[in-house]
Chains A and B, each alone.
Chain A
Amino acid sequence: QVQLVESGGGLVKPGGSLRLSCAASGFTFSDYYMSWIRQAPGKGLEWVSYISSSGSTIYYADSVKGRFTISRDNAKNSLYLQMNSLRAEDTAVYYCARASEGRTAFDYWGQGTLVTVSS
């Protein structure tokens, strides 16, 4: 069965950096687009970034452009999110999600990892 397991969250000071990882299993990882989606405490969902199956196409939300970098290692079935220049407003649960075959929806989600940006 499809499994997505995020890790790497934690407490970081404003201006600091953090790298999230997502380990995928149960499907051919290299065939699918992947995304990061976040949810601030008590708030709604916000799409953050996506990466194509090969890694050649990448998009970011304006709120993280220039600060976050998405990447993947298909040999390791892993997705990453490097987060730099973190701000208090980046505090959220970060979910790794698989895009559907048509890329129009997110058909599987991880359990999320909490990132807290605070001094």
Chain B
Amino acid sequence: QSALTQPRSVSGSPGQSVTISCTGTSSDVGGYNYVSWYQQHPGKAPKLMIYDVSKRPSGVPDRFSGSKSGNTASLTISGLQAEDEADYYCCSYAGSYVFGTGTKVTVL
């Protein structure tokens, strides 16, 4: 399977909203509601932020939200904070798993 396509980087000022896209195909993102999102700070392990397209694990701030339309999933961070600066990866489950290419979020 080919990696899902994400923008290389997005940026925003504190308090603003940013949206990261994750584009796949009808065989992965478009075919199942099993998209998850991970936050990774430098030198740290990834952390689950969203699963099953739009569900938030306990402890994840409600500033993080997920959605999907067709073959593209999206992660939106509202009220951007300095600690949100990190790399973000989407992942689709369709029997096996495929990750996105990753997006660096910069807080200006």
Contacts and interface: CB of A to CB of B under 8 A. Distances in A.
Interface stretch (B14-22, B67-75, B76-84, B97-105): B97-105
B48 A106 contact: yes
B45 A111 contact: yes
Contact of B3 (A37, A44, A50, A95): A44
Interface stretch (A18-26, A70-78, A82-90, A96-104): A96-104
A46 to B, nearest CB: 6
B57 interface: yes
The B interface is mostly helix, strand or loop, or mixed, namely: strand
Interface residues on A, range: 20 to 34
Contacts of A102: 51-52
B45 A95 contact: yes
Nearest to A96: B45
A91 interface: no
Interface in B18-67: 34, 36, 38, 40, 45-48, 51-52, 57
A106 B101 CA distance: 17
Nearest to A102: B52
Contacts of A37: 99
A44 B100 contact: yes
A11 interface: no
A104 B48 contact: no
B99 A45 contact: yes
B100 A105 contact: no
B51 A100 contact: yes
Interface in A14-72: 35, 37, 44-47, 50, 59, 61
Nearest to A95: B45
Interface of A: 35, 37, 44-47, 50, 59, 61, 95, 100, 102-112
The 4 closest A-B pairs by CB, nearest first: A105-B36, A105-B51, A47-B97, A104-B34
